[in-house]
Amino acid sequence: MNQANELPIDQDVAPPSPELVRQALQSVVSSVAFQASPRLQQFLTYVVEETLAGRGAQIRGKAIAVEVYGRSIDGTGGRNLVRVEARRLRRLLNEFYEDQWDGQGVRIFVDSGGYKPRFSQGRTTGCDNSNAQNSDLLGGHRRLQQVLPIGLGCLVLIAATGFWFTRDNKVVLPTTQSIEQAERTALGEQSLTRLQAANLADQARGMFFPVFDVKRQQIALGMFQHAAELDPALSDGYAGSAQVLATLAMLSPDEAQRDDLFSQASEMSRKALDLSPTDAWANGANGWVLATQNNPVEAMKYARLSVELAPNDGHILDLVGITAIMAGAPELAAEVSDPERLRSGSGRFGARNIWGVSQLMLENYEKVVDAFKGAPAAGAPVSAPSLLFQAVAQDQLGHTEEAQRLVNEMRKTWPEFPSEFLAGRIFQNDDATRQAILDTLIRY
């Protein structure tokens, strides 16, 4: 069973799809109230995406403190902050649905007593536990209880007057749709096959990390290729295929195979750009292909253009981040992976790793340790490169015992991981970082 589809819902109601939930999330975080609070945008995005990934039961205040607010794993200050912020989140959510929601689509709840969201479709399905809280509040205000019926009567009178006034002058109030919703609606109107292809490509691009997992990359490649078969006129399948083929080429030790994969990647990238020259993904994928082929100047041109086209798209930011690392531009990698930067869609764990690597290249070793050390608490995967980068940082800080422990753990858990080979590939334009990694591997 696919855990990613096991969404918390109201009983006896068909589960909303992840796509509908993400549309609802985008509507909320793009509202005026949430635009003024980037941290709450990140808070809500984090808990929703964790739930969609099947990890809702593991959402804890500690993980939110680390992942969203950048707090230390130790101590209770971060968890106290999360509790306060959760109350603000519930209040803003309630205000959004009371004031701006048209009753269509999915509603997101974050009930008191936890952080795991639940989802219901339509205005009448489901309610949060604020009713009981409101009842307690009214119980403590007798005057409010006396005045409330009069106020409700006035509202009914006003509503009735408005009905008669507008009965012969029909007024249609506009509803707000996010860009993503509008794009999906337009695709559906044009062709259901195109919508299916776009959805498949969107699912596959969430599999880009861990980059070094070859089997995962091959699965994603099959999905991208199928998307291109479903709709050969949609650039997404080609852009996704290009980024995966370039990644597999970078990871291949066989020169002939590597050349063949690079040739395929370039062809897919060309098709994506021909179909959609202003698409952020097509440009970002082309930048990544050029970076893996050691063409840093051209790679950075396309990378920067893709950020301008989609400055908050999580996948684009991650794609640009690893492109910048390969091109020897840690400042751009740090900019697009900054924990304070607003992000949407996929690309959360990749951003943490990119931030850590960018800090390694910039020789900010304490930040490297903080970035990778917080990964397990936040639910992020631990990999051989993350242990290796921590070991290098600890070695540079003079913590030799911890560096030795990390190298030992990496070699024990991933005995066949080609550390030296990949260090040469990833940091082909950063001699200092590559040498620091090789020195650490030799020393320990």
Q: Is 283 a residue whose pLDDT tops 90?
A: yes
Structure confidence at residue 222 (pLDDT) = 93
Q: Residue 7 has what DSSP assignment?
A: -
Beta strands in 51-200 (DSSP E): 106-109, 118-121
Q: What is the maximal distance between C-alpha atoms in the chain? A: 84
**Two structure tokens written together for 166:** 């507008």
Q: In terms of Cα–Cα distance, which of 371, 369, 368 is closest to 348?
A: 371
Give the tens place of pLDDT for each residue, 392-413.
999 999 999 999 999 999 999 9
Confidence of residue 309 (pLDDT cuts 50, 70, 90): very high
Residue 303 phi/psi, 5-degree rounding, is -65, -50
- pLDDT mean over 184-198: 68
Q: Residues, the chain, total?
A: 444
Give the CB-side neighbour count of residue 371, counting CA atoms within 13 A.
Answer: 30
Of residues 29 and 329, the one with the higher pLDDT is: 329
Torsions phi, psi of 197, nearest 5? -65, -45
The Cα–Cα gap between 128 and 122 comes to 14
For 306, the token pair is 């893709």
Summarised one tens digit per residue, pLDDT across range 120-142 is: 886 544 444 444 333 333 333 43
- Sorted by sequence, the CB contacts under 8 Å of residue 236 that are 6+ apart come out as 197, 198, 201, 202, 224, 227, 272, 281
Query: HSE (CB half, 13 Å, CA atoms) of 418?
Result: 12
What is the tens place of the pLDDT at every residue in 231-255? 999 999 999 999 999 999 999 999 9
Q: Is the pLDDT of residue 8 over 70?
A: no
Write the CB contacts of 293 (distance below 8 Å, at least 6 apart in sequence). 246, 262, 266
Nearest Cα neighbor of 48 from 16, 78, 87 is 16
pLDDT of residue 356: 95
Whole-number pLDDT of residue 16: 87
Q: Give the model's confidence band at 6: pLDDT under 50 very low, under 70 low, under 90 confident, else very high.
A: very low
- pLDDT value at residue 428: 93
* Among 33-42, 324-333, 364-373, the range of highest mean pLDDT: 324-333
pLDDT at 140 (0 to 100): 38
Going by C-alpha positions, the residue among 243, 229, 228, 233 that lies closest to residue 291 is: 243
Q: CA-to-CA distance for 126 and 9, rounded, in angstroms?
A: 9
| Residues 146-174: tens digit of each pLDDT | 444 444 444 333 343 443 333 343 333 33
Residue 265 pLDDT > 90: yes
For 351-381, the pLDDT digits (tens) are 889 999 999 999 999 999 998 886 655 555 6
pLDDT of residue 113: 85
Mean pLDDT, rounded, for 262-284: 97
Average pLDDT along the chain: 81
Note the pLDDT of residue 183.
56
The pLDDT assigned to 153 comes to 46
Q: How much of the chain exceeds pLDDT 90, in percent?
A: 48
Task: Return the percentage of the chain with pLDDT > 70, whole number.
Answer: 77
pLDDT (mean) for 3-18: 58
* The pLDDT of residue 124: 43
The neighbouring-strand residues paired with 108 are 119
